[in-house]
Amino acid sequence: MALKSFIEVHPDSHFPIQNLPYGVFRPEPGSAARPGVAIGDYVLDLSEIASAGLFDGPILKNSDCFSQPNLNKFMAMGRSAWKEARATLQGLLSYTEPALRDNAALRQKSLVPMNKVEMLLPVAVGDYTDFFSSMHHAKNCGTIFRGPENPIPANWFHIPIAYHGRASSIVISGTDIIRPRGQGRPTGNTPPYFGPSLKLDFELEMGAIVGPGNELGKPVDVNEAANHIFGLVLLNDWSARDIQAWEYVPLGPFLGKSFGTTISPWIVTLDALEPFACDAPKQEPPPLPYLAEKISKNYDIALEVQIKPAGQEDSRVVTKSNFNHLYWTLTQQLAHHTINGCNLRPGDLLGTGTISGPEPESFGCLLELTWNGQNPLSLNGTSRKFLEDGDEVTLTGCCKGNGYNVGFGTCSGKIIPSHP
């Protein structure tokens, strides 16, 4: 029999009882941050559920993990704790269970309308790494910058390429993004351009949130790596393409990326995503043994990007992609990250890199969609080569189940002018 909550959940909701993603929120201005899960149009306050003694399993019974201002302590406890919490919450929210359903006072305290809360960063991010795991994106970028003869470097098919990003500039959905300033490539014998970026872009990505880490010097086995991943968020790794193009040789991205990265507020767990697991693409050549998985899987997550141009009321869908286009899997990314002995820690964020599909409408950034500005996008009577001040970008992601969705909500940000 299908799971059903005593809380009415609209069929189109991203947050039915089958999902129960985790976030951190303030129920009212000035109140303390606390963990919650999304259920329909409500946030369930986990600090209240814990205070009422309803987390009564052996792992969570005496834990203060839901009294923290972020999810790091809970995530560090590992998969057994996550499974216990999920089973407890699905039981409490079930229409057959009276403990919460029939306790009006506790319902009043613990169920907060989602439109009343302030969502915060759900984790304290210690480190942020951004991968480059979509073959279609790698091929398109290589063709744009190096030509079609050899668009993807040989190493790309052997190692999950990545760079270390900037954890301090990770912001929650709804935060404005200030247009960065920096240098651009000189033309002819002139000095480099300096000023506001002229090629500001979005990147459609997802991010894996690390749960338990690993000791320094002790890599994570690729077949155990899923136990180190708490869940996924939507991620927009905003990019200043002109700054990036001038600086990235020889050491890679720096100021073109570090000015802002937006994540969605809700972390969807791997347990909630498991019904939507699908085979990952066949990898040729076969990966080295430390990256060879017994089961190599992605998830069928439909992804979409909308742009609302400055001064307009309506958004336009510019991208429809899918998480299943990733060439390197989440678990391969994490295993490769640790193979040199690097220690990951709870709350670390691993971005997938831009997720582009094979068709033009599935390209995951304006660099690809406009082919570096050569083919402007038509948007509600205006056009865009890259983002202009006042433009708002919204990412969404959703898995379609049998009569329910497992979704991520939205990940949005608006571009505001550069500081003088």
- The per-residue pLDDT for range 85-104, each reduced to its tens digit, is 999 999 999 999 999 999 99
Q: What is the pLDDT of residues 337-376, one digit of tens each?
A: 999 999 999 999 999 999 999 999 999 999 999 999 999 9
pTM passes above 0.75: yes
Cis peptide bond N-terminal to 29, omega within 30 = no
Calpha distance 404→16 (Å, rounded): 7
Contact (CB, 8 A) for 5 and 94: yes
Contact (CB, 8 A) for 317 and 369: no
Backbone φ and ψ of 342, nearest 5°: -60, 135
Q: Name which of 10, 12, 9, 75 is nearest 44 in CA terms.
A: 9
Calpha distance 227→238 (Å, rounded): 29
Lowest mean pLDDT among 142-151, 189-198, 265-274, 352-361: 142-151
Q: What local confidence, expressed as pLDDT, does residue 420 receive?
A: 77
State mean pLDDT over 138-142: 96
Between the alpha carbon of residue 76 and those of residues 18, 24, 135, 296, 337, the distances in Å are: 23, 16, 32, 25, 18
Place of tokens 């570090």: 258
State mean pLDDT over 162-184: 98
Q: Specify the fold of 22-120.
A: SH3 type barrels. (2.30.30)
User: Which residues of the chain are in CATH 3.90.850.10 domains?
Assistant: 128-416
CATH top class, domain 128-416: alpha beta
State mean pLDDT over 238-258: 95
Q: How confident is the model at residue 419 (pLDDT cuts 50, 70, 90)?
A: confident
Does the pLDDT at position 245 exceed 80?
Answer: yes
Q: Is 137 a catalytic residue?
A: yes
The residue from 14, 136, 137, 325 that is catalytic is 137
Calpha distance 338→391 (Å, rounded): 38
Q: How confident is the model at residue 1 (pLDDT cuts 50, 70, 90)?
A: low
State mean pLDDT over 365-391: 96
Calpha distance 19→14 (Å, rounded): 8
Contact (CB, 8 A) for 399 and 161: no
Q: What local confidence, expressed as pLDDT, does residue 380 receive?
A: 85
User: Which residues of the chain are in CATH 2.30.30.230 domains?
Assistant: 22-120
Q: What local confidence, expressed as pLDDT, does residue 23 receive?
A: 98
- What is the DSSP secondary-structure string of 38-99? EETTEEEEHHHHHHTT---STTTTT--GGGSSSSHHHHHT-HHHHHHHHHHHHHHHBTT-HH
Percent of the chain with pLDDT over 90: 97
The terminus-to-terminus CA distance of the chain in angstroms comes to: 60
